[in-house]
Amino acid sequence: MLVFHKERLAFLAVPKTGTTAYHAALSRRADIVVSHPSGLKHASVYRYSRFFRPMFNKVGGAEMELLAVMREPVSWLGSWYRYRQRADLRETDRSTFGMNFDEFVLAYVKGNRPAFADVGSQASFLKTHPSGTAITHLFRYEDLTRLNRFLEDRLGVEIVLGRKNVSPEMNLSLSPDVDRKYRKKCQEEFRLYDSIV
């Protein structure tokens, strides 16, 4: 998470949406950079509202606008699948080595997900907190040009992104049946993504 106090903007780091590259590009410009632990770096709207919002309210009564990026849901799961192909995970229960993408997605849509498919949900991450804390600015991962323009205007900086934390390329096509199951089981993910203007 990156916080720009003067601009009243907090950039939440949704996993697998390119936020590591933004952290690298903007960490010198940010007033607060949350890199570790992972649970705080990737603080959801809920965690932000519970842990960070009270702190900002107590120090100067600052109410932050929340910014986040959402990735097309099939692509997002594909990024997790590829990421968990890494050699250092091969002997663990989080590895996707030796399985195809259909098998990974079928495991993800199960009620009780195995460890390798327990990767959370973008819709849950971005869900409005009961306090009213909500994402103010939501951008598509597939349209980072729009996000870059927003950040350049808001922060007065030029955005130069490097490639960080990139998973290996591989085939991520789903069979029609698995694609249907995923879209039916995870309708909220697709609805939220489709609602981004």
The length of the chain, given as a count of residues? 197
* Site of tokens 């849901």: 73
* CATH number belonging to domain 2-195: 3.40.50
pLDDT value of residue 118: 97
- 58 and 166 in contact (C-beta within 8 Å)? no
pLDDT tier for residue 166 given thresholds of 50, 70 and 90? low
What value does the mean pLDDT take over residues 135-144? 97
Q: Identify the helix (H) or strand (E) that includes residue 125.
A: helix 122-126
Contact 24, 33 (CB under 8 A): no
Give how far the C-alpha of residue 99 lies from the chain's centroid of Cα atoms, to the nearest Å. 24
Place of tokens 């590895």: 95
Its pTM stands at 0.93
Q: Would you list the domain boundaries of the chain?
A: 2-195
What's the one-letter identity of residue 169?
Answer: E
Is pLDDT at 117 greater than 90 in this prediction?
yes
DSSP single-letter state for residue 92:
S
15, 69 contact by CB (below 8 A): no
Segment 61-81 mean pLDDT: 95
* 3-state class (DSSP) for residue 101: helix
Average pLDDT over residues 24-45: 94
Joined together, the tokens standing for residue 122 give 């973008």
Q: Following CA atoms 83, 85, 88, 90 in sequence, which dihedral angle do they give, to the nearest 10 degrees?
A: 150
What is the rounded average pLDDT of the residues 104-108?
98
